[in-house]
């Protein structure tokens, strides 16, 4: 009866609206309709999706054609091409959590493990368990031929694995190390590609995968630079790649397909070095995917973004995600430019070229200017089109700029480029020609030498490594505080992400430039993209000791055992969260701050998400009445390892209360005493001050009250440290109070 009535309505709609749709077909845009958890009953999710589209669109054929993809393995939803009024209609339908436009997200582009104390000889206590761990990455694909993915000595694929290996293009198959590979390219992001396959034609996915779980490879280097043994954090673990990024970027639709597959395939952990601007948690594919992963016991590690050093730039801030900032290690790549006068200038760059001559003639962009005078741009900066080939050819050129000058000099047949930075940098870029980046003050000195010397000369040496003090937060690493879920401190943790040597794809050049001819088995690149798999590996390492721990418990272990980072700027924990990961300590944290699904749900209620949507996301319930549900307590409403609050712009007083529960995972009988380190402007009281545990897995609760006054007309960042200490453990929670300037 209902069926026929609905069909009648549909028929009427169809008659009214067909013409409109016909003419607007080209205006249809891709949207994602997110519907929460899969229904428990044996209903056809595909039929539901079609019926929803039919209700909104009216026409059977148009409805069918508008659908792009159904998510139905790990959560419920679909992607479709819709018109604005159809979006409105679908949003109003029962069973729909959110409808949001498909957007493109960006990639957040070996010694690092030694630096973290995981020595080559170090064997995890649980290699057997580790080899059963399957890490899933959503990335640009993988090049299985890299020595880092050799499966020599690996046993059969773990029995729990339900994934697939999709071949085609340049992708010839998996092995016992890389056990799964799929791709999603729902809107053909890469027209004309020969490589519709999980093959990595970018290099990024090969790099992140090998950082996470690559095997030991001796004598790894980039053209002899950074020579040593390369390896991932959990070298015995297995890898599954979900290629979701193409030339144009990584679309929401493809990311969701990657999560849908990865969760169902049986990965133990997901690493996503991708992001975009913060959105409502249930209009954000990474937050949605990570939520459903978390429900299945899978932790998702994500990069914090590369928009630093500015505050409020952190991405991937959902509380069930581990948000990773990038730190620098104690190694810096320096490239020296020596002038004919003998003066040496230390630049920061990766120059793989060895000079063939003792000296080369040196000129400057200003002197090499194209005299025709009708060109746009700035010759002193060697901007494209401003300098003449006859004055550049065979010369090293000094340029007062640093955005792609090496490309211009290469095209004009120059022998090298000395480029001046705008400001001090910590990141070493690989140059296309012999080149280096010097400080602006050194740039003026070099130009002065050129102007005042008859036959100016220079040579650019091959890059050498230098020891510097570390760790520090990389300049580009995105900073907190988060712009949504305001009382959860993000990023959570920092891990090495600056100048990281790891495996690379044979299908990509080392700079990604098509004119570059250099391919290498290893490459050195930077980004929170590189930090994310380091932290993911730490999580896999902890899981190898505690396979039954929840994602929140694993994350807590990593956060509370991290090494707090000294940061010179005022930004403190806004840059590094709890500090630098310490995987070995994280395996034995003493206490953990666990978070169950029901407390995440209370948190979502407190954040103002409506009960109907929460019911759909949580599954099982038809509706969720937040008012009847025991409300989340305290300032943040979540049992988070760090304590954070953002105050209103004009507030002058701090008053925050945090309720916390810790679970004993150390020794059965243990006594922890609290220690608070705080500036005088804060009063921090903890009730009770001692926790006495009688057994393992016992839970105990405490309350933290933070009070204080604030100065006027100033951005306020006040940080403190709360530690629970027994004879062996120190369980650290950072307290951060933030008030923005007017
Ligand atoms: C990738 O595939 C293309 C097209 O089949 C082929 O020309 C090319 O040689 C392949 N590259 C590698 C490195 O295998
Ligand atoms: C050219 O670049 C130099 C150095 O960066 C700068 O001082 C100058 O103002 C620029 N000139 C123009 C016309 O933009
Ligand atoms: C100078 O610039 C003009 C316009 O871009 C170009 O046509 C010409 O070839 C350039 N001259 C030299 C010597 O590079
Ligand atoms: C070098 O000479 C150029 C052109 O005469 C001039 O624009 C520039 O300011 C000089 N730079 C220095 C550091 O002397
Ligand atoms: C760098 O120096 C520190 C402190 O002197 C030392 O502990 C570390 O091993 C050095 N690293 C390298 C690569 O030499």
Beta strands per DSSP E along 588-729: 591-592, 643-646, 653-664, 670-677, 682-687, 690-693, 699-709, 716-725
- SS3 readout for 82-124: ECHHHHHHHHHCCCCCEEEECCEEEECCCHHHHHCCCCCCCCC
Residues 263, 268, 273, 275: is their CA dihedral positive or negative? Answer: positive
pLDDT of residue 624: 76
Atom 4 (ligand 1) nearest CA: 194
- Token duo for residue 186: 């729902």
Ligand 1 and 506: CB distance under 6 A: yes
Q: Show the domains of the chain with their CATH numbers.
A: 19-102 (3.30.70.80), 106-330+471-584 (3.40.50.200), 333-463 (3.50.30.30)
Indicate which atom in ligand 2 lies nearest the CA of residue 378: 1
Atom 5 (ligand 3) nearest CA: 385
pLDDT of residue 17: 36
- 468 to 213, 334, 345, 521, 572: CA distances (angstroms): 27, 11, 17, 26, 21
pLDDT of residue 378: 85
What is the whole-number distance in angstroms between the Cα of residue 114 and the centre of ligand 5? Answer: 11
Ligand 3 and 389: CB distance under 6 A: yes
CB 304 within 8 A of CB 478: yes
Ligand 5 and 513: CB distance under 6 A: no
Q: Is 341 helix (H, G, I), strand (E, B) or coil?
A: coil
- SS3 readout for 11-43: HHHHHHHHHHHHHHHHHCEEEEEECCCCCCCCC
Ligand 3 and 388: CB distance under 6 A: yes
Indicate which atom in ligand 3 lies nearest the CA of residue 370: 1
Determine the Cα–Cα distance for residues 213 and 235; give it in Å rounded to an integer.
Answer: 5
pLDDT of residue 20: 37
Ligand 4, residues at Cβ distance < 6 Å? 366, 444, 447-448, 451
Helices (H) and strands (E) in the chain, counts: 18, 37
Ligand nearest to the CA of 364: 4
pLDDT of residue 301: 98
Beta strands per DSSP E along 277-343: 299-303, 321-328, 331-339
Beta bridge partners of 671: 692
Distance, first Cα to last Cα, the chain: 61
33 Cα distance to chain centroid: 24
Q: Which of 436, 399, 438, 397 is nearest to 414 (CA)?
A: 397
What is the whole-number distance in angstroms between the Cα of residue 428 and the centre of ligand 2? Answer: 24
> Would you please indicate which residues are annotated as catalytic (active-site) residues?
139, 204, 529
pLDDT of residue 19: 35
- SS3 readout for 487-526: CCCCCCEEEECCCEEEECCCCCCCCCCCCCCCCCCEEEEC
Ligand nearest to the CA of 444: 4
Q: What is the mean pLDDT of each run of 10 residues along the chain (742 residues)?
A: 37 36 66 94 87 95 96 97 96 94 85 45 56 95 97 95 95 96 87 82 96 95 93 95 92 97 98 94 97 98 92 95 95 96 96 97 94 72 90 96 88 96 86 95 97 97 94 91 93 96 94 90 95 97 96 98 77 87 96 95 91 87 75 92 92 94 96 95 96 98 94 80 97 94 68
- 376 to 252, 363, 400, 468: CA distances (angstroms): 38, 21, 16, 41
By CB atoms closer than 10 A (0-12, 13-18, 19+), residue 92 is: exposed
Atom 1 (ligand 2) nearest CA: 378
């Amino acid at each position: 009866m209902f069926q026929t009535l609905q069909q009648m309505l549909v028929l009427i709609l169809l008659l009214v609206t067909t013409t409109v749709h016909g003419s607007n077909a080209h205006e249809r845009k891709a949207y994602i309709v997110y519907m929460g958890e899969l229904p428990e009953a044996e209903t056809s999710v595909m039929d539901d999706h079609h019926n929803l589209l039919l209700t909104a669109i009216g026409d059977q054929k148009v409805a069918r054609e508008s659908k792009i993809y159904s998510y139905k393995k790990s959560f419920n939803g679909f992607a479709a091409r819709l018109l604005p009024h159809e979006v409105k209609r679908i949003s109003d339908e029962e069973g729909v959590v959110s409808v949001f436009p498909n957007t493109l997200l960006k990639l957040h582009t070996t010694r690092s493990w030694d630096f973290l104390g995981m020595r080559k000889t170090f064997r995890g206590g649980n290699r057997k368990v580790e080899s059963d761990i399957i890490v899933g990455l959503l990335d640009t694909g993988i090049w299985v031929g890299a020595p880092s993915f050799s499966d020599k000595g690996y046993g059969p694929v773990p029995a729990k694995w339900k994934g697939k290996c999709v071949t085609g293009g340049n992708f010839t198959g998996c092995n016992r190390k890389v056990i799964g590979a799929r791709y999603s390219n729902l809107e053909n992001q890469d027209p004309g590609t020969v490589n519709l396959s999980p093959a990595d034609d970018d290099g990024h996915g090969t790099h992140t995968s090998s950082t996470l779980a690559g095997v030991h490879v001796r004598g790894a280097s980039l053209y002899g630079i950074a020579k040593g043994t390369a390896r991932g954090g959990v070298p015995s673990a297995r890898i599954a790649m979900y290629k979701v990024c193409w030339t144009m970027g990584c679309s929401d639709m493809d990311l969701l397909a990657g999560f849908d597959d990865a969760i169902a395939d049986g990965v133990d952990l997901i690493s996503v070095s991708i992001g975009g601007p913060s959105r409502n948690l249930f209009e954000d594919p990474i937050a949605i995917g990570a939520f459903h992963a978390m429900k299945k016991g899978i932790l998702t590690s994500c990069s914090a973004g590369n928009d630093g050093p500015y505050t409020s730039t952190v991405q991937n801030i959902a509380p069930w995600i581990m948000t990773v900032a990038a730190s620098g290690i104690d190694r810096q790549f320096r490239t020296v430019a020596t002038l004919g006068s003998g003066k040496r200038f230390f630049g920061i760059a990766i120059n793989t070229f060895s000079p063939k001559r003792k000296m080369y003639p040196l000129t400057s962009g200003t002197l090499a200017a194209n005299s025709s005078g009708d060109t746009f741009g700035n010759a002193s900066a060697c901007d494209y089109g401003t300098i003449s080939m006859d004055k550049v050819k065979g010369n090293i050129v000094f340029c007062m700029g640093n955005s792609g000058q090496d490309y211009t000099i290469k095209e004009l047949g120059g022998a090298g480029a000395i480029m001046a930075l705008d400001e001090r940098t910590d990141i070493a870029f690989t140059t296309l020609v012999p080149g280096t980046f010097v400080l602006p003050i050194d740039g003026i000195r070099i130009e002065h030498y050129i102007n005042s010397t008859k036959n100016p000369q220079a040579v650019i040496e091959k890059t050498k490594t230098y020891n510097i003090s570390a760790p520090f937060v990389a300049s580009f690493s995105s900073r907190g505080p988060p712009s949504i879920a305001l009382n959860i401190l993000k990023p959570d943790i920092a891990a090495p992400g600056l100048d990281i040597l790891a495996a690379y794809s044979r299908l990509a050049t080392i700079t990604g430039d098509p004119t570059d001819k250099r391919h290498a088995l290893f490459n050195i690149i930077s980004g929170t993209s590189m930090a994310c798999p380091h932290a993911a590996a730490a999580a896999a390492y902890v899981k190898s000791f505690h396979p039954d721990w929840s994602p929140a418990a694993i994350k807590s272990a990593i956060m509370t055992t991290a090494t707090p980072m000294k940061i010179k700027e005022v930004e403190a924990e806004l840059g590094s969260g709890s500090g630098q990961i310490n995987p070995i300590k994280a395996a034995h944290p003493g206490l953990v701050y666990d978070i169950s699904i029901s407390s995440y749900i209370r948190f979502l209620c407190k954040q103002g998400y409506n009960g109907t949507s929460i019911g759909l996301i949580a599954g099982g319930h038809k509706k969720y009445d937040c008012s009847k549900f025991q409300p989340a307590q305290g300032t943040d409403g979540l049992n988070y390892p760090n304590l954070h609050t953002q105050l209103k712009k004009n507030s002058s007083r701090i008053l925050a209360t945090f309720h916390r529960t810790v679970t004993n995972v150390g020794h059965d009988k243990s006594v922890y005493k609290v220690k608070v380190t705080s500036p005088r402007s804060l009063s921090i009281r903890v009730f009770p001050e001692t926790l006495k545990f009688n057994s393992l897995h016992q839970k105990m609760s405490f309350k933290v009250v933070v009070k204080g006054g604030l100065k006027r007309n100033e951005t306020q960042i006040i940080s403190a440290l709360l530690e629970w200490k027994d004879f062996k453990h120190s369980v650290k929670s950072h307290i951060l109070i933030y008030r923005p300037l007017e």
